[in-house]
Amino acid sequence: MRPEPATPNRPLRMLKTALSRYWGVIAVLVIWQAWVSISGVNQIVLPQPVDVFRDLVAEPGIYLRNAGQTLLLAALGLILGMLLGTVIAVLAWSSTLLSGILTPLGLVFSSVPVVALIPVIARIMGYDLKTVLAIVVIISFFPAFVFTSAGLKTLPPGSSDLFRVLGASRWTRFTRLVLPSAVPSWMIAFRLAAPPAVLSAMLAEFLMGTSGLGYLFRSAASGFQTERALGTSVVATVISVLCFTFALWAERAVLRKWN
Amino acid sequence: MTDASSPVAHLSPVRPATETAIDLDHIGKSFRMENGRELVAIDEVSLKIGKGEFVALLGPSGCGKSTILRLVAALEAPSRGRVVVEGREPEDLSRAHRLGVAFQDHALLPWLTISANVALPFQLAGRSVDRKRVEELIRLVGLAGFEQARPRQLSGGMRQRASIARSLVLHPDVLLLDEPFGALDAVTRRQMNVELQRIWTDERITTLLVTHSVEEALFLADRVVVMSGRPGRVIKTIEVPFERPRQPAIMRSAEFHDLVDELTLALEPEEAA
């Protein structure tokens, strides 16, 4: 990992920024490698970073297949959960009666820890992908419900009077004012919900799944394939970071247009 | 005053008594406070505004002048008396999309372009957007070239112009202006008054303007109605003698200054005593 000698300007500068930003990651890798080499810890306890990297390169199919499945479940669950949260928030907005029923129910439901929910839902829905999906939906539901509910009530100043004076119907008011007003809050919900969607998918797979990244990690760890387990962690980390970055980018892009 | 000699006698400032567009018949408005006490915002006000007349309501803040405007807009209901607009209930006018408003809050929707904001009343009325009318008004208020801009990209004065354009786009029967330039600096405000006067002279819509600026009221209105502080009641009415179209130069005339002094004294009775 030595910087290449003097082909100046762009490549060098890029390397410099990379080093200044990610030197922490590099330092951890170097210390990890050094510690394993010097202390001679058993491979099963802690493999060298090089071994983990070798496993990632040697068996890309296993990682890709499982990561793909986890990512797909997380994305699908995120979409369904946010859709459900939005629809219920709109229903609660449209009638005080429904609001009185749905709001406390949503709050109670979402404060149950997800770890406690997984075995219950698995018993009901079976030990397969459906349960993983259901968990992600439940996790994604809450931020969508809370933020959409708040967003439906934060209208631009004066706009509510304006729509009344201009004789807008209740439906026009909803589609042209209330719903668009909720978009910024909805994007915050999306940014907040995306990383936990991946995390909860992996957790559900870890606890009761038969495939996916979470399952891959569990089976590798219990089979003493520590380098496979750590490789899974690397892939999971990369996915989480990518999801977060994407959600942040999406939020900013929308807010730029909206505010 | 270039038009003074030309044959524009029909533009004489004191209008013949035509049909009444807005009739405030002994109205009063009280609000119930949180501590249970009753706050009288408007004591008793009677005011008739003729068709095509521009009336300015002048008064200190908290005199209930904005409340009067909200009564005409059917955003509030009077506690006493009756409001009749174009011979009907005030709600009928907004339901028929015949009302134009511009408030101190420009209330432009931040996610729409200026052009889409100005076109909004068409969509709320369930009509197809008259692109030519939207373009014409944007040009009239001096926002040509900013059609595709978003409200946050414009200055405060430009946003108010967009909001004025939006209030006029449907050719409303009644125009209500609540301190539309209240948040602007003095120079921009004066400039906006000149432009509004020019636009209004073309359209001649029954207009009720609420303001606390004496110069603004005199320059724009056919009649200035002065209200007292809480509880609000009418204490003085003057007909504005200047012919239309009015040039900014009239604001420097002695007659204008005398009227400003007269109205300012009416607004501050303690100092007069």
Q: What is the pLDDT of residues A76-94, one digit of tens each?
A: 999 999 999 999 999 999 8
| pLDDT of res. B8 | 41
DSSP 3-state of A259: coil
Residues A30-41: pLDDT tens digits? 888 888 888 877
Nearest CA distance, A29 vs chain B (angstrom): 47
| pLDDT of res. B110 | 93
Give the separation between CA B61 and CA B67, rounded to whole angstroms.
11
B107 and A161 in contact by Cβ < 8 A?
yes
On whether any CB of chain A is under 8 Å from the CB of B40, the answer is no
B-chain CB neighbours of A162 within 8 Å are 101, 103, 107
Q: How many CB atoms lie within 10 A of CB A116?
A: 8
B103 and A158 in contact by Cβ < 8 A?
yes
DSSP 3-state of A252: helix
Question: Which of A48, A18, A52, A31 has the alpha carbon at shortest distance from A4?
Answer: A18
Give the separation between CA B46 and CA B24, rounded to whole angstroms.
5
Helix (H) or strand (E) holding B72, with range, is: helix B65-72
DSSP 3-state of A251: helix
Q: Which residue is it, tokens 């539901």?
A: A141
B4 has a pLDDT exceeding 70: no
Give the separation between CA B3 and CA A94, rounded to whole angstroms.
57
ipTM of the prediction:
0.85
Give the separation between CA B239 and CA B14, rounded to whole angstroms.
7
| pLDDT of res. B189 | 86
Segments of chain A scoring below 70 in pLDDT = 1-8
Q: How many residues make up chain B in this entry?
A: 273
| pLDDT of res. A5 | 53
Q: Do residues A177 and A166 make contact, with C-beta atoms less than 8 angstroms apart?
A: no
B109 and A172 in contact by Cβ < 8 A?
no
User: B residues 159-218 near A, CB within 8 Å?
Assistant: 176
Which residues make up the CATH 1.10.3720.10 domain(s) of chain A?
Answer: 43-258
Q: Do residues B101 and B167 make contact, with C-beta atoms less than 8 angstroms apart?
A: yes
Q: Do residues B98 and B171 make contact, with C-beta atoms less than 8 angstroms apart?
A: no
| pLDDT of res. A9 | 75
Helix (H) or strand (E) holding B68, with range, is: helix B65-72
- Domain map of chain B by residue range? 20-98+174-184+205-267
Q: Which residue in the set A165, A257, A258 is minimally distant from B99, CB to CB?
A: A165
A-chain CB neighbours of B125 within 8 Å are 166-167
Measured at the alpha carbon of residue B245, what is the angle toward residues B240 and B249, in degrees to the nearest 5? 75
A24: which residues sit within 8 A by CB, 6+ positions away?
A: none
Range B20-98+174-184+205-267: architecture per CATH: 3-Layer(aba) Sandwich (3.40)
CATH topology for A43-258 is: MetI-like fold (1.10.3720)
Give the separation between CA A136 and CA A129, rounded to whole angstroms.
11
Q: Do residues A32 and A49 make contact, with C-beta atoms less than 8 angstroms apart?
A: yes
Burial code (b: 16+ CB inside 10 Å, e: under 16) for A69-94 equals: bbbebbbbbbebbbebbbebbbebbe
B-chain CB neighbours of A172 within 8 Å are 123-124, 126
Q: Do residues A43 and A212 make contact, with C-beta atoms less than 8 angstroms apart?
A: no
| pLDDT of res. B9 | 42
Q: How confident is the model at residue B273 (pLDDT cuts 50, 70, 90)?
A: very low
Q: Which one of A154, A155, A160, A162 makes the best mutation probe of the B interface by having the most chain B beta carbons within 10 Å? A: A162
User: A residues 136-175 near B, CB within 8 Å?
Assistant: 156-159, 161-169, 172
Tally C-beta pairs within 8 A across A and B.
65
Q: Which one of B92, B108, B120, B148 makes the best mutation probe of the A interface by having the most chain A beta carbons within 10 Å? A: B120
Number of H helices, E strands in chain A: 12, 0
A177: which residues sit within 8 A by CB, 6+ positions away?
A: A155, A159, A160, A163, A168, B109
User: Per residue, what are the HEC states of A45-101?
Assistant: CCCCHHHHHHHHHHCHHHHHHHHHHHHHHHHHHHHHHHHHHHHHHHHHHHCHHHHHH
Q: How confident is the model at residue B105 (pLDDT cuts 50, 70, 90)?
A: confident
| pLDDT of res. B225 | 93
Average pLDDT of the segment spanning B22-41: 86
- HSE-CB at B38 with a 13 A cutoff on CA atoms is 7
| pLDDT of res. A180 | 94
Q: How confident is the model at residue B270 (pLDDT cuts 50, 70, 90)?
A: low
